[in-house]
Structure 1
């Protein structure tokens, strides 16, 4: 049995923040799971902001990008914040090349 190449963890933080921690590799095989998790997080009761933490993410492809965009759109429609943090190396480069770092990686308002 193969070990999954990714994990998605949810951590509720003070102030209505839900931190979604992504670890491992996010490609087409997990795009739907990522999209579903981020859209659900954006609609979770009591949440005002979703923070997607990429500190332990080694790879994202176009399917992961689509998941991030879906999560952002769902949060925006729900009147909630959505920010991507801690992208490093190749992961941050993908966000930069696609232009999404300017939208998704912006600091939260007031910071």
Structure 2
């Protein structure tokens, strides 16, 4: 586990785990709405700027909801990673969460889909 704290609330959590040798997996759990967009962006920026990290993987497997604020947080993380010369990928989106990524066109950029 990295020294970045887990951010828990009643409706969401953000966990950062090192994936040797050079990746950080950011696991999102719960609902990501306007109340947590900034926390998500901050966590993803921090992950992107960790020394020795070459890629950030955002795992949405346990994510039930994302709104425009969460999308903005994902884009901020993507921008931070790419600006730092690091890879960024969103994985395991399901149901409504994946539909939001698809409708916004972000699944092509963030999920590597064409």
Range into which the TM-score falls when normalised by the shorter chain: over 0.9
Deviation of 1:15 after TM superposition, in Å, equals 2.4
* Structure 1 moving runs of 4+ over 3 Å: none
Give the one of 4, 18, 23 matched to 1:12: 18
Distance 2:65 2:58 in 1: 14
Q: Report the counterpart of residue 36 of structure 1 in structure 2.
A: 42
Query: Gapped runs of 5+ residues in structure 2?
Result: 1-8
Q: Report the counterpart of residue 91 of structure 2 in structure 1.
A: 85
Name the SS of the counterpart of 2:40 in structure 1.
Answer: helix
Deviation of 1:68 after TM superposition, in Å, equals 0.2
Distance 1:100 1:67 in 2: 12
Deviation of 1:63 after TM superposition, in Å, equals 0.2
Deviation of 1:4 after TM superposition, in Å, equals 1.7
Aligned length: 105
Distance 1:4 1:39 in 2: 23
Q: Report the counterpart of residue 73 of structure 1 in structure 2.
A: 79
RMSD value, Cα: 1.0
Q: Which moved more, 1:77-86 or 1:7-16?
A: 7-16
Deviation of 1:50 after TM superposition, in Å, equals 0.1
Distance 1:43 1:104 in 2: 18
Q: Alpha-carbon deviations, 1:44-89, whole Å to 9, x = none?
A: 1110000000000000000000000000000000000000000000
